[in-house]
Amino acid sequence: MGKNKEKYKPMKIEFIQEASIEYKSLDGSLKILVDKLLAKLEKNPFLGEELGNKNNIDLTGYYKLYFDKKRYRIVYRVLKDEIEIIEIWGIGKRDKMEIYKIVNKRIKDRVTHE
């Protein structure tokens, strides 16, 4: 995970609709792990590792956080306006790059509909 110890003002965390559904579908023990990570993320938006363009999946500008012994990922980006927001784009298993492919598709779908 990111080693940056800088102090940041607390951030607001928002889920895109699909990520909210993924969060709600997690069992209770996984939700507790996610909630703990999100509490840390509010204090340091760059806690996760930067993602890039890998295996033809372009997630440049997004970050990942691991949980449940690295079996799951939270994929997010930091939005900067008057209020800084951390936008959660996906929560799921890394298995076969699954969560990254899902988030990549969501990004592409959003671009084609804007």
Give the mean pLDDT of 75-94: 83
* Domains contained in the chain, number: 1
Q: Looking at the domain assignment, is residue 2 inside a domain?
A: no
Predicted TM-score (pTM) of this structure: 0.77
SS3 sequence of 6-42: CCCCCCEEEECHHHHHHHHHCCHHHHHHHHHHHHHHH
Strand partners, 27: none
The rounded distance, in Å, linking the Cα atoms of 9 and 71 is 30
Domain containing residue 36: CATH number:
3.30.2310.20
Decide if 5 is inside a domain: no
Task: Say yes or no to pLDDT of 6 above 70.
Answer: no
pLDDT, mean over the chain: 86
Interval 31-83: pLDDT, tens: 999 999 999 998 888 899 999 998 889 999 999 999 999 999 999 999 876 56
Q: Residue 57 belongs to what domain range?
A: 12-113
Residue at 54 is within a domain: yes
How far is Cα 72 from Cα 48, in angstroms, rounded to an integer?
13
Q: Considering the domain boundaries, does residue 21 fall inside one? A: yes
Residue 106 counted as domain residue:
yes
In a domain, 6, yes or no: no
pLDDT at position 73 is 94
